[in-house]
Chain A
Amino acid sequence: MARITMREAISQALWEEMERDPSVFILGEEVGVWGGTYAVTKGFYDHFGPERVRDTPIAEAVIIGAAIGAALTGLRPIAELMTINFAFSAMDHIVNQAAKLHYMFGGQMILPLVIRAVGGGGRQLGATHSQTPDAVFAHFPGLKVVAPGTPADAKGLLKAAIRSQDPVLFIEHATLYQTRGEVPEGDYIVPLGKSTIQREGRHVTIVTYSKMLEISTKAADQLAKEGIEVEIVDLRSLRPLDMAPVLESFKKTNRAVIVEEGWKSYGVGAEVASRIYEEAFDYVDAPIKRVAQAEVPLPYNRTLEQMALPQVEDVIKAVKEVL
């Protein structure tokens, strides 16, 4: 197994799927000649050509709308949104079209569509370019939403998304692109809608995903030195949400902290905590804690921005509070 970056893992999945299936193609802003603003599709344009790596105008509604239309004709488009913040310009096409056409027309329309979008804060991009609105999109039945936290999951989930018959929003975190990890070569599939236990422990369960898996892992490493064994459940998919590993872990530890990068109100943590209370109330030994972003538009100033984002210390503090 090769040790590669998240960026390379995503790139590898795209490349291999395009080699495997001629109906797979990419469209988006600067995906072609530029090579992708995060360099994920570097070299694709020269190899696959302008028909399969299509540079679009800066016009998000028609990027997603055209991807939907092409998917309806039996193709497997991968639409890239330069950042998930631009998804709001295509909101109707994501939540009102992609998420609904299959159901609303009684099953006759099929959209094997992937929307790749880069999200997350921590790069001093200011309030409009730093959001983690994953929960917003996970709210809508009909859409599948995944957000990997490791390079291996990124590759396996992206391949599954491309092969899926359903529309999938694939959320990448910009500050994870350089993260390295062991990634299986060739056909490696991680099924959509399956959470997983990333680290075993017996004292407390941390439920998290994406960038916050990294933060939570660092917290767990420090806590381990104090003899506190943390179990980490990585959701990986937000819709469908697989609660089985979460509940299984919680029934063992009886304590949980949920760590998410987005805002706390109406967020992923709210959903997961409610489900634990609904389905495992008899196992609750302490109130469930949520660690999330401060409820402000993310500021530019580095110190303020870091204050707003969940940090390792915040996770450690929350874990100690539930113990």
Chain B
Amino acid sequence: MEKREYLDLYHQMVVIRRLEERSAELYQQGKIGGFLHLYIGQEAVSTGLISVRRPEDRIITAYRDHGVAINCGLSAREVMAELLGKVTGCSRGKGGSMHLADVKKNFWGGHAIVGAHLPIAAGLALGDVYQNNKAVTVCMFGDGATNIGYFHEALNLSKVWNLPVLWVCENNQYGMGTAVERASAVSEMRQKADGYGMKSEAVNGMNVIEVREVSARLYEEIRNGSGPQFLEVITYRFRGHSMGDPERYRSSEEVKTWLENDPIGIYHRYLLEHQIASEEELQEQIRLAEEEINDAVAFAEASPEPPAEELFQHIYVEG
């Protein structure tokens, strides 16, 4: 990897962190409505995973999607504008936080019904098989989604039809406020892939380089016809499930232990220790990220509300 690429990963992670921190502020100011699920603590997962995808590879995820959108190449401007419900947002202000997408960048959303996007991911991969595209569909979901029927129907079909899907379970230890062991019959999510005869492995989701390396290998195996595979990424969300979460289900000691494992901090030290970048260079990336987010907020706030006629647009393509 070139130095520029190392710095770019760092930049993306910091952009996501700042985007989320600013979103939380804007939410508290009442400028962002609805639900807001922050990606803070999980930045290394999507940054590592998506950094090795090819343009033809499709990405689809659940509602904790801001970071994924940034990693897929959406601008902080169009993400922030969507959060503020503006017509300049990536979904024209009609989707909101949970429904970011840009199909031109092969980012297929942002889906808010737990597990319901997994069957759709199987279909995206089926579309590629049917059209002889050598592409991989990467489907991200939380540990909570492995307990719903859609998950099982989708994994089963992907194996029966040998679809090129990388199933990525972000195990952040909690489905909303319910700890994994209180909701799942098995403690490791990857065990569920065994039931479908599917190859699986786990990776430390707090280390962007580890996620990236495992992902690169899995993309190539799937691209070369291995069939679907399952990757469990062990991670943690530093904030509540969504804004307004009282967090009665976990101790401050537990949160503190994970905070010491901050994925940005880990990567920051890695870059210094391996003399890939200097402290000044990393500070410069932080400064650029902050500028980018300031610009995004200014853009979003200055953007117009959707015009009234937008209400009845896009119900159908025809008629």
Question: Which residues of A are interface residues toward B (Cβ below 8 A)?
Answer: 25, 51, 54, 56-57, 59, 61-62, 64-75, 77, 92-93, 96-97, 101-110, 141-142, 144, 164-166, 192-193, 240
Contact = CB atoms under 8 A, between A and B. Distances in A.
Given A70-B130, A73-B127, A62 B154 contact: yes
Contact of A103 (B94, B119, B122, B160): B94
Contact of B126 (A66, A92, A102, A104): A66
A65 B101 contact: no
B102 interface: yes
Contact of B94 (A65, A106, A110): A106
B119 A102 contact: no
A65 B139 CA distance: 13
B113 A92 contact: yes
Interface of B: 89-95, 99, 101-104, 108-110, 113, 116, 118-128, 130-131, 149-150, 153-154, 156-157, 160-161, 313-319
Contacts of B317: 102, 110, 164-166
B65 to A, nearest CB: 12
A142 B101 contact: no
A106 B314 contact: yes
A25 B120 CA distance: 16
Most buried by B among A71, A104, A142: A104
B80 to A, nearest CB: 15
Contacts of B93: 106
Given A57-B153, A106-B95, A93 B119 contact: yes
A148 B119 CA distance: 29
A62 B99 contact: no
Contact of B91 (A61, A105, A141): A105
Contacts of B130: 25, 51, 70, 73, 75
A65 B124 contact: no
17 contacts: A54-B161, A59-B156, A62-B119, A62-B150, A66-B122, A70-B127, A72-B127, A73-B130, A93-B120, A97-B116, A103-B315, A107-B92, A107-B314, A108-B104, A142-B315, A144-B316, A165-B316
B123 A66 contact: yes
Contacts of A75: 127, 130-131
Contacts of A57: 153, 156-157, 160
Nearest to B139: A69
B119 A109 contact: no
Most buried by B among A56, A96, A105, A142: A105
A54 B123 CA distance: 13
Contacts of B119: 61-62, 64-66, 68-69, 93
Most buried by B among A54, A59, A75: A59
Contacts of A108: 91, 101-104
A166 B154 CA distance: 24
Nearest to B130: A75
A164 B317 CA distance: 9
A107 B126 CA distance: 23
B123 A72 contact: yes
A67 B122 CA distance: 9
A105 B99 CA distance: 7
Nearest to A106: B92
